[in-house]
C-alpha cells in the first residue's frame, strides 16, 4: 500500500474519510482496537489507507490517520501520535499499525 499525503490536515483527512463511509472512531485498547462496545484484535481488521502528518516545529503536532475496516464491515478512523509505543498497545496491534 502506498502512503498518501494528499489531504492538507488531519481534520481534512478525517472529514474526507467520514464522507467515504469511515464513520466510526476507533480507539486503542490494551490488546485491541475498540469501537464503542466492540473490540477488534489484530486479525479482525485491515488498514485500508494511512495518512501521516509532521509538525513544522512541534513533534506534538505529528499524527497518523488510519482508515480501518473490520472483517465484519465496520469502517472507521484511528488517529494516533507518532510517539505510540508498545507501552500503549499490544505488540500485535502495534506491529500491524507500524507495518503500513
- Give the separation between CA 46 and CA 96, rounded to whole angstroms: 9
Quote the pLDDT of residue 66. Answer: 92
| pLDDT, tens digit, 9 for 90 and up, residues 18-54 | 999 999 999 988 789 999 899 999 999 999 999 888 7
Higher pLDDT: 2 or 22? It is 22
CA angle 71, 16, 97 (to 5 degrees): 45
The answer, yes or no, to whether residue 60 has pLDDT greater than 70, is no
Arithmetic mean of pLDDT, 71-87 = 79
**In the predicted model, is pLDDT for residue 77 greater than 90?**
yes
Residue pointed to by grid coordinates 505488540: 91
Torsion of CA 97, 28, 80, 25, to 10 degrees: 110
Side-chain-side CA neighbours of 97 within 13 Å: the count stands at 31
pTM of the entire structure?
0.81
Amino acid at each position: 500500500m502506498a502512503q498518501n499525503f494528499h489531504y492538507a490536515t488531519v481534520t481534512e483527512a478525517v472529514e474526507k474519510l467520514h464522507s467515504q463511509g469511515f464513520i466510526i472512531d476507533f480507539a486503542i485498547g490494551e490488546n485491541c482496537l475498540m469501537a464503542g462496545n466492540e473490540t477488534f484484535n489484530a486479525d479482525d481488521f485491515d488498514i485500508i489507507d494511512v495518512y501521516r502528518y509532521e509538525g513544522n516545529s512541534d513533534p506534538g503536532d505529528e499524527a497518523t490517520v488510519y482508515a480501518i475496516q473490520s472483517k465484519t464491515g465496520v469502517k472507521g478512523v484511528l488517529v494516533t501520535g507518532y510517539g505510540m509505543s508498545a507501552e500503549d498497545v499490544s505488540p500485535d496491534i502495534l506491529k500491524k499499525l507500524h507495518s503500513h
